[in-house]
Each structure stands twice: as structure tokens, then as C-alpha cells.
């Protein structure tokens, strides 16, 4: 999926579960009201498990660029603590003199959640906004600003899910807030569980007046277990189903993730009280910890979670919880005692702050250094700094704001004004800084709304574009157009017109361009790398009297490949169905030619190649007597550090050359489609590489026009400067499509 690495899609935030030090039982929602709620003895070994989990998350992020099982540990623990608290509250509400309103009121728990979560989160979001302005190119400010809002309002997971569906939003891949998606998912879970289960508690309270049997603890637990299990089963089935339909969205989807905390909640509702030997419990914990620690190496979480294989870390967490829930009088297994050790528990107490801090720190460091990976030494420093900042966050922000005797700072008062406390000052500061950050983001959003692409009438002598390479046109010293801030919106006209089908579509949306009354027809078919050429083809069609019909779908070239995938490698079955439907339509309408891509970057090595799936399409069309015009794909910008987002590179101070690509690493000296063209007279190859690259380099700016609008799509403005050369080559292949433009 993405630059800098697959880390950018990685894990969720630690659950805001119980604090590490207190005298009575506490849950994610806060302490239970009285001992009558029958909360289990506090489990410090689970705090240690959180410490292990956050260590895995941070280390896998920083050193290995993989998804660990740590996040799933947090999700499972969240459900165990939170649902367990709600069940105990319901049992207590039936046995004590607690009114109906108090039984169903979510505010006490919601207030504790807000005090637990928001101060640290908003502190990090403010810091991210400041560092973005200092470190990140302006081309990314708009997206990060919107992610700050999405994170603050707990819908970041769906913001990212929607953007992962947007084939044109590749520049968001390195977000310093990518990791907040899991906190958004957990926040949605907490609120949903709170509302639903407190409503159930209220119904039990009302019905219990006529049916006293409903108020028995065992019956209450059974009711909750049925509800939680039903939702968990539905969520798991949805996750498994969507795994093969739309995994990029599935990964972030709360509906797919719900089962993970819910099965933890089921264990809180019913804990098997099996009497087994201590050695067996110890073995269970050791095996479970081994699974949690290693599953990041042998499972690809990005491609496989939250479906069936997520049971590995989730099930292992349940095993640790069960193994440490020993009968009265029996000591903890040795492995659980190690988890309850001072260092592991201390690390667990920092889990929330450490999760919030380590990922932005890593991303800003990589952005500042202009690299994709941190070395082992750099990663170690990032971890140490993250730990130090997390300790400061917990001591000076989290604990004082949470209260409950966690911090002496809470009781510091301004001598002259006793009502002015440390927490009051901190609260005002956070509110003021958050409001200022929101205002600055909105101001930048308004500014960006005024930035528009206006290049339709550029003076060709001042902005020759591709003609500088193809015809040796002189290039005056002018700033390039569109600007780096605007070029991302320099789109082919088919997108705004509604003729670029999205990822979910299986039926083509056909657009009509060129001369609608033309006697001849070219079908432009494929993905966005075919779509790029519509601006030039439209002008050629109008000038030469032929019609262009478009059959376009995001990320879906015309291919005979049986199981196509997206760029990130996830299955793309909608593409297979869409291509079959397009091919049936082409066979029915029989256009005079089909215009599509003939090459693609070679995944097995440098330069480009003709994929076997493309050849299958060429064979099928030409066998029906339909000519194929295959245009060689453009170079995809890259350098020693990986893929290059051209606007970002230029906005960060790069030049046309430094943001460009060595031609030899992107293109073979000879078009790879030559051999196929020589053997099939109905296949006509086009190669406009010399209009994008010189003999050695494919620059980011040519003829005062920015060549690319993102990682691998030409700007619509630059495509228009290739119109004359495209017309010349097209007329040579299809004489009726000429004469070439003057």
C-alpha cells in the first residue's frame, strides 16, 4: 500500500484499560461502586501483558515494519475489562437500591473515559499539528489536518478506510496519525457497548419487578452472554466475508473488529473454573506469550486481520487471562508472576502514552531524514525518546487529569488564588491550544479551497511541457505549473464527469468524448493509467471526427489474470467481474479500436514488461478482429529511497532532477511490446517515453510543467502537451484517426 513501508497501515492503539496502581478493582470505565459488585481481584499480570504488547507494537513498527499481535491483545483486554465492568454494574443494580436512572446512565463511565483518553490524545494532536508545519511539505498539510479532526472526534478508522479506497489519495500513506484508527475503533466500541448494555440493564431492572428470576446474577450473565456472543459471531462472520471482498476497508472497519473485544467480554462474563495443575496453567501462559510475541513474523496482519487468523493473538490473550484466574488460595503460575513483575507493569502503565507517541515520532523523523526506514541505532533512540516522553505525558498530563489520588500535582494550587489548581490550568491550556489548532486547520482548509488548477490557456511558448523534449522547444525561466499544491487536483476529465468507476463497481460507466457523432469509435479501457490519456485523445477525436467511449475503473487494467490484485497485493475480485463485463460489451459493440495499456513496471526486476494478463486480452480482442492500440506505460517515479511523490518532493525543496527517475531503472531501452506487435498485425504499439524522459533521466518538471500529480500518474496539464505526439503515433497506427495535429 504504501510509502514509506507497510508500517503505515499498522496497528491499533492500546485500550484504555485499568490503571496499574489502586487498592480496589477498576475497569476501563473506572472503579466499581462497591464491593457488592463482586469484582475479581486485581490482575497486575494483565498490566504486564499490556507492557509486553506495547513493546511488540513499538518494536515491530520502528525496527521491522510489520504488524505485531500487540494490538489484538489490547482489543481483547479492552472487552474483558469494559464488559466485565458493565455486567458487574448490572448485577449490583439489581441487588442494591439503585434507581432506574442511575442504572442506565452512561455519564459516570463516559466521564471517566473522557478524562482517561482525551488529555493525552489532544496533547499529541497539538504536537502533530506543530511538527507538521515544521517538518512536512505543504502538500500534505490538508490531509494531516483532516486526520487531526478525524482522530479528535474518533472516526479516524473510517477516514482512513475511505481514503484507502481512493486511488488518487496515495499521498496520505505516511500519515503520522495512521495509528489512531484503532483508538477510534475502540472509542466507538466503548460508546456502543455502553449504550446497548446499559439499555439491557435498564430493561432487566424494569422486567425484574414482575419476573424476579431475571434479577439473579446467573440469569443476568446469561442474558449478557447471549447478546455479546451473537454480536461477536456476526462481527466475525462479517470480517471473514469482507476479507476476500475489500480487505483494505475491512482492516479498519469497526464492524469487522468488534468480535475481538467482545470475546474478551465473554470471558469476563463466564470464566471457566476448571481446576487444573499449576504446571498446566504455566504451560498455557508460556505458549500464549510465545504466540503473541512471534505471530508478527509468520502472519501478515495487514492482509489477514481481523479475520480467522486474528484468533492467534486474540486466543493467546484469552489463554493468559484464563491461566492467571486461579482459584482462591492458589498462587499465580510462574509465567504470570513474571508478567506481574515491576518492569513489565511499569511499561504497561505507559502503554497508552507510548502508543500515542512512538508512531508520530517515527514518521516525523523519517520525513525529516528523507528516508524510509530507521536503522537499528536510530530506532533505539526513537524508542528511548518515546519512553521518556511517555513518562512525562503520564506524570504531568494523564495522571493529574484522571484524578483519584494518582498524582500529587492535582492538589497544587496557585497561592494567591486557591481555586486555580494545576489541573485547572492544564485544562484551560489544552482547550485553548486545541481550539487554536482547530482554527489553524480550518484556515488552511479554506486557503486550499482557493487553490485551483487553471492551466487550460497556458502560453505554449512559456510552458512548452513535453515539446521541450520532443521538439527542442525553448524553456524560459518560470515557476512550474500547476504549483505543487495544486497539481494533485490536476485530474483527467473523466473523474469529475463521473466516468471513473470506483473499487466496488462491477459494471462500466461509459463516457462519450471526442466527436459524439463520429463515424469511427475508439474504446478507451482500463485503469487510471489508461484514463490519463483522455485529455489528449479527446482533443484528437474532436479534430479528426471520431468518437471515444470510456470504460475505466480504479486500479483495474484490462487483464485476463484470473485473480487480479490491487497495488498493495490484496485480492480485487470486483476487477475480474468488471473486466469480464467490459469485454462482453466490447464484443457486442465492436469498436473500431481499443486503446489500453501495453506495459507495466516489472515486479521481478527493474524496468517494464508486458504482463501475461495483458497479452490474454490482446489475443481475445484481436481474435475477434478488433484492433488494439497498446500504449506503453509511463515511468513510475522512484529513487534509491523508494517511490517518489513528485508534488511532495518538489514542495520539500527538491528539483526537477532530484525528484526525477533514472530512465534505465524504469524503462527498457526498447518497448517490451515490440515482439508481440511484430507477431500480431492488429496490435499497434505506441511509445511516448521520449516525451517524458530524456536520454538518461525522467525529470519531475519538463518545459515548466510538473509531470506527475502524485506517485505515478501524469498531470492532466502535462498530458495535453503530449497531444501532438500522441496524434502523430495514433495516425500512423490507424490512418482514419489522422491526420496528426499541426
Residue boundaries of the structural domains of the chain:
6-426, 470-737
CA 44 to the chain's CA centroid:
33
| Closest listed residue to residue 702, CA positions, set 739, 655, 633, 648 | 655
Instruction: Report the alpha-carbon distance of residue 127 to residue 277 in Å, rounded.
Output: 51
Residue 110's SS3 state is helix
- Cβ of 155: how many Cβ atoms within 10 Å? 19
Q: Residue 401 has which C-alpha cell?
A: 487529569
Q: What parts of the chain have a pLDDT lower than 70? A: 1-40, 164-173, 416
The confidence score (pLDDT) of residue 78 equals: 95
The confidence score (pLDDT) of residue 169 equals: 43
The confidence score (pLDDT) of residue 303 equals: 83
278-298 and 311-324 helices, crossing angle to 10°: 160
The confidence score (pLDDT) of residue 615 equals: 97
For the chain, how far is it from start to end, CA to CA, in angstroms?
42
User: Tens of pLDDT along 522-568?
Assistant: 999 999 999 999 999 999 999 999 999 999 999 999 999 999 998 87
User: Tens of pLDDT along 102-134?
Assistant: 888 999 999 999 999 999 999 999 999 999 999
Buried b (16+ CB within 10 A) or exposed e, 469-486: bbeebebeeeebbbbbbb
CB 672 within 8 A of CB 618: no
CB 188 within 8 A of CB 154: yes
The confidence score (pLDDT) of residue 165 equals: 53
Hey, what's the torsion of the CAs at 643, 645, 650, 652, to 10 degrees?
A: -80
Do you find a cis peptide bond into 362, omega within 30 degrees of 0?
no
In this structure, what are the phi and psi dihedrals at residue 604, rounded to the nearest 5 degrees? -90, 0
The confidence score (pLDDT) of residue 569 equals: 80
The confidence score (pLDDT) of residue 164 equals: 65
Instruction: Report the alpha-carbon distance of residue 530 to residue 597 in Å, rounded.
Output: 6
Overall CATH class of domain 470-737: alpha beta
Give the full edge-to-edge strand order of the sheet including 683-686.
511-514, 546-552, 520-526, 593-597, 628-631, 683-686
**Which residues contact residue 298 at a Cβ distance below 8 angstroms, ignoring those fewer than 6 apart?**
none
Amino acid at each position: 500500500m504504501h510509502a514509506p513501508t507497510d508500517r503505515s497501515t499498522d496497528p491499533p492503539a492500546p485500550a484504555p484499560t485499568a490503571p496499574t496502581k489502586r487498592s480496589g478493582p477498576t475497569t476501563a470505565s473506572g472503579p466499581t461502586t462497591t464491593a457488592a459488585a463482586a469484582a475479581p481481584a486485581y490482575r497486575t499480570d494483565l498490566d504486564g501483558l499490556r507492557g509486553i504488547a506495547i513493546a511488540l507494537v513499538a518494536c515491530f513498527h520502528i525496527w521491522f515494519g510489520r504488524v505485531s499481535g500487540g494490538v489484538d491483545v489490547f482489543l481483547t483486554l479492552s472487552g474483558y475489562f469494559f464488559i466485565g465492568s458493565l455486567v458487574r454494574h448490572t448485577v449490583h443494580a439489581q441487588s442494591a437500591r439503585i434507581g432506574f436512572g442511575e442504572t442506565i446512565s452512561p455519564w459516570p463511565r463516559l466521564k471517566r473515559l473522557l478524562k482517561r483518553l482525551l488529555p493525552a490524545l489532544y496533547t499529541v494532536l497539538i504536537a502533530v499539528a506543530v511538527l507538521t508545519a515544521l517538518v512536512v511539505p505543504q502538500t500534505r498539510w490538508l490531509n494531516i489536518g483532516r486526520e487531526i479532526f478525524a482522530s479528535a472526534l474518533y472516526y479516524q478508522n473510517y477516514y482512513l478506510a475511505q481514503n484507502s479506497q481512493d486511488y488518487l489519495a496515495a499521498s496520505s500513506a505516511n500519515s503520522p496519525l495512521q495509528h489512531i484508527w484503532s483508538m477510534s475503533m475502540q472509542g466507538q466500541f466503548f460508546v456502543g457497548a455502553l449504550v446497548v448494555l446499559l439499555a439491557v440493564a435498564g430493561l432487566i431492572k424494569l422486567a425484574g419487578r414482575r419476573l424476579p428470576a431475571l434479577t439473579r446474577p446467573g440469569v443476568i450473565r446469561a442474558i449478557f452472554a447471549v447478546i455479546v456472543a451473537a454480536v461477536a459471531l456476526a462481527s466475525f462472520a462479517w470480517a471473514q466475508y469482507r476479507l476476500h471482498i475489500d480487505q483494505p476497508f475491512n482492516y479498519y472497519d469497526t464492524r469487522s473488529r468488534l468480535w475481538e473485544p467482545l470475546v474478551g467480554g465473554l470471558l469476563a462474563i463466564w470464566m471457566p473454573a476448571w481446576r487444573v495443575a499449576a504446571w498446566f496453567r504455566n504451560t498455557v501462559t508460556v505458549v500464549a506469550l510465545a504466540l503473541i510475541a512471534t505471530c508478527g513474523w509468520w502472519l501478515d496482519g495487514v492482509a489477514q486481520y481481523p479475520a480467522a487468523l486474528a484468533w492467534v493473538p486474540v486466543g493467546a490473550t484469552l489463554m493468559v487471562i484464563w491461566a492467571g484466574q486461579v482459584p482462591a488460595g492458589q498462587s499465580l503460575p510462574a509465567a504470570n508472576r513474571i508478567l506481574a513483575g515491576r518492569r513489565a507493569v511499569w511499561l504497561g502503565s505507559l502503554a497508552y502514552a507510548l502508543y500515542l507517541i512512538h508512531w508520530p515520532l517515527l514518521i516525523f523523523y523519517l520525513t525529516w531524514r528523507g528516508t524510509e526506514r530507521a536503522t537499528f541505532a536510530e530506532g533505539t533512540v526513537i524508542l528511548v525518546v518515546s519512553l521518556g516522553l511517555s513518562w512525562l505525558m503520564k506524570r504531568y498530563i494523564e495522571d493529574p487529569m484522571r484524578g483519584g489520588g494518582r498524582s500529587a500535582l492535582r492538589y497544587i494550587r496557585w497561592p494567591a488564588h486557591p481555586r486555580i489548581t494545576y489541573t485547572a490550568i492544564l485544562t484551560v491550556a489544552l482547550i485553548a491550544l486545541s481550539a487554536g489548532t482547530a482554527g489553524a486547520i480550518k484556515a488552511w482548509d479554506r486557503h486550499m479551497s482557493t487553490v485551483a488548477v487553471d492551466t487550460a490557456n497556458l502560453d505554449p511558448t512559456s510552458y512548452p511541457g513535453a515539446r521541450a523534449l520532443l521538439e527542442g522547444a525553448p524553456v524560459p525561466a518560470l515557476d512550474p505549473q500547476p504549483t505543487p499544491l495544486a497539481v494533485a487536483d490536476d485530474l483527467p476529465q473523466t473523474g469529475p464527469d463521473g466516468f471513473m468507476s470506483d473499487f466496488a463497481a462491477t459494471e462500466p460507466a461509459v463516457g462519450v468524448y471526442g466527436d459524439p457523432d463520429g463515424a469511427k469509435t475508439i474504446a478507451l479501457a482500463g485503469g487510471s493509467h489508461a484514463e490519463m490519456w483522455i485529455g489528449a485523445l479527446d482533443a484528437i477525436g474532436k479534430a479528426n471526427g471520431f468518437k471515444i467511449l470510456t470504460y475505466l475503473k480504479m486500479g483495474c487494467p484490462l487483464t485476463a489474470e484470473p485473480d487480479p490484485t490491487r497495488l498493495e497485493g490484496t485480492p480485487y475480485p470486483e476487477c475480474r467481474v468488471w473486466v469480464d463485463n467490459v469485454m462482453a460489451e466490447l464484443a457486442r459493440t465492436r469498436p473500431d479500436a481499443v486503446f489500453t495499456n501495453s506495459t507495466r513496471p516489472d515486479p521481478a526486476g527493474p524496468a517494464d514488461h508486458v504482463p501475461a494478463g495483458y497479452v490474454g486480452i490482446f489475443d481475445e480482442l484481436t481474435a475477434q478482429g478488433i484492433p488494439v492500440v497498446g500504449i506503453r506505460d509511463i515511468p513510475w517515479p522512484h529513487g534509491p529511497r523508494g517511490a517518489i511523490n513528485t508534488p511532495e518532493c518538489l514542495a520539500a525543496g527538491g528539483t526537477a532532477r532530484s525528484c526525477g527517475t533514472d530512465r534505465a531503472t524504469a524503462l527498457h531501452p526498447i518497448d517490451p511490446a515490440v515482439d508481440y506487435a511484430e507477431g500480431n498485425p492488429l496490435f499497434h504499439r505506441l511509445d511516448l517515453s521520449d516525451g517524458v524522459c530524456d536520454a538518461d533521466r525522467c525529470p519531475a518538471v519538463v518545459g515548466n510543467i510538473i509531470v506527475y500529480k502524485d506517485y505515478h500518474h501524469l498531470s492532466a496539464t502535462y498530458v495535453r502537451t503530449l497531444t501532438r505526439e500522441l496524434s502523430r503515433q495514433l495516425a500512423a497506427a490507424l490512418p482514419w484517426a489522422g491526420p496528426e495535429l499541426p
